[in-house]
């Protein structure tokens, strides 16, 4: 009896509020709707990055989160770490800047509100290379040649991105001109090879979920030795996600960190020949 009255009361409330409830509406359908909308406002997503002991690395290298996520960096190392966003700023890059210090054995938090990419590095174990706009591993870093940098990918829509973008390979260097590119889906991304040597596009394997959501294949870009002026290739990305790619001629894959690592023969070692394409849905 009591249950039936509650049901009738909530039905009346819903009828007054909504005004358009059909006669088939029952208590079993109205109850879950109310409870989920009430709890959704209270959930704060959380995620974490670890600084493992004596490695000078951030784990994972790429962390994907939803907007408003509180990210915790847990320092399991025996020394303090200071890390900061790179100077790279754009409509999708480092929209919130931060500079954080975390003592040995402690943790620190930062809340990411804005969708986009956040690229940060440890100011003691790595440096910002202004020539190439890349984070470089310090010679004394314990993870060398892997740099102590990390990416926080805050998923969500970003307005005003192009659907076609041109990247290139620098003449005389084993390096893509831009490390980070963003475009809206379906995105047409081209690379022109200004170098003499051949280079490649291939995705870094074994990343979960929305990182490299589809395999765009292995693509060779002939250099000016093979094709006068160098070759241009174009790849269409119609699935939103973050694409992490490298050149298999100048990098190897480190299975532990799942990162592409420069080979010593690469012209700008220890900088890896890697790039990221953020493909955003509409």
Give me the residues that bind Cu ion (CB under 5 A), please. 174, 199, 247, 249-250, 273
Q: Tell me how crowded residue 93 is: count the other CB atoms within 10 A of its CB.
A: 18
In the complex, least distance from residue 249 CB atom to Cu ion, rounded to whole angstroms: 4
> 180 or 246, CB closer to Cu ion?
246
Burial 205-241 (b: 16+ CB within 10 A, else e): eebeeebbeeebeeebbbbeeeeeebbebebebebbb
Both tokens of residue 158? 């970003």
Q: How far is CA 120 from CA 87, 96, 115, in A?
A: 9, 11, 16
* DSSP class of 27: H
> 199 or 258, CB closer to Cu ion?
199
State the Cα–Cα distance between residues 30 and 40, nearest whole angstrom: 16
> What are the residues whose beta carbons fall under 8 Å from the beta carbon of 31, sequence distance 6 or more?
10
> 184 or 231, CB closer to Cu ion?
231
State the Cα–Cα distance between residues 148 and 56, nearest whole angstrom: 6
Phi, psi of 112 (to 5 degrees): -100, 115
> 60 or 223, CB closer to Cu ion?
223
Looking at the chain, the number of H-run helices and the number of E-run strands are 2, 20
Q: Tell me how crowded residue 263 is: count the other CB atoms within 10 A of its CB.
A: 18
Length of the chain counted residue by residue: 282
> 77 or 174, CB closer to Cu ion?
174
In the complex, least distance from residue 237 CB atom to Cu ion, rounded to whole angstroms: 20
Residue entry with tokens 């409509």: 91
State the Cα–Cα distance between residues 13 and 6, nearest whole angstrom: 11
In the complex, least distance from residue 200 CB atom to Cu ion, rounded to whole angstroms: 6
In the complex, least distance from residue 136 CB atom to Cu ion, rounded to whole angstroms: 17
> 77 or 197, CB closer to Cu ion?
197
In the complex, least distance from residue 266 CB atom to Cu ion, rounded to whole angstroms: 7
In the complex, least distance from residue 199 CB atom to Cu ion, rounded to whole angstroms: 3
> 81 or 173, CB closer to Cu ion?
173
Q: Tell me how crowded residue 251 is: count the other CB atoms within 10 A of its CB.
A: 22
In the complex, least distance from residue 193 CB atom to Cu ion, rounded to whole angstroms: 9
In the complex, least distance from residue 241 CB atom to Cu ion, rounded to whole angstroms: 23
> 59 or 249, CB closer to Cu ion?
249
Q: Which residue is nearest to Cu ion (CB)?
A: 247
């Amino acid at each position: 009896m009591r249950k039936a009255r509650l049901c009738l009361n909530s039905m009346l409330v819903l009828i007054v509020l909504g005004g358009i409830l059909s006669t088939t509406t029952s208590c079993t359908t109205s109850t879950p709707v109310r409870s989920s909308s009430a709890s959704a406002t209270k959930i704060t997503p959380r995620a974490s990055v670890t600084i493992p002991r004596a490695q000078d690395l951030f784990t994972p290298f790429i962390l994907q989160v939803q907007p408003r996520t509180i990210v915790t960096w847990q320092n399991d190392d025996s020394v303090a770490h200071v890390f900061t966003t790179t100077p790279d700023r754009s409509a999708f890059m480092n929209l919130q800047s931060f500079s954080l210090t975390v003592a040995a054995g402690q943790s620190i938090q930062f809340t990411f509100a804005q969708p986009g990419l956040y690229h940060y590095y440890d100011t003691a174990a790595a440096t910002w290379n202004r020539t190439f706009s890349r984070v470089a591993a310090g010679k004394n870093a314990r993870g060398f040649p892997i740099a102590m940098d990390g990416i926080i990918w805050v998923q969500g829509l970003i307005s005003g991105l192009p659907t076609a973008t041109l990247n290139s390979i620098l003449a005389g260097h084993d390096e893509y001109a831009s490390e980070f590119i963003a475009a809206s889906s379906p995105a047409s991304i081209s690379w022109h090879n200004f170098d003499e040597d051949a280079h490649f596009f291939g995705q870094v394997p074994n990343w979960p979920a929305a990182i490299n959501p589809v395999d765009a294949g292995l693509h060779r870009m002939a250099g000016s030795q093979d094709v006068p002026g160098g070759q241009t290739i174009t790849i269409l990305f119609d699935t939103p996600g973050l694409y992490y790619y490298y050149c298999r001629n100048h990098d190897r894959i480190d299975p532990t960190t799942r990162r592409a690592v420069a080979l010593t023969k690469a012209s700008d070692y220890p900088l890896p020949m890697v790039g990221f394409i953020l493909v955003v849905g509409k």
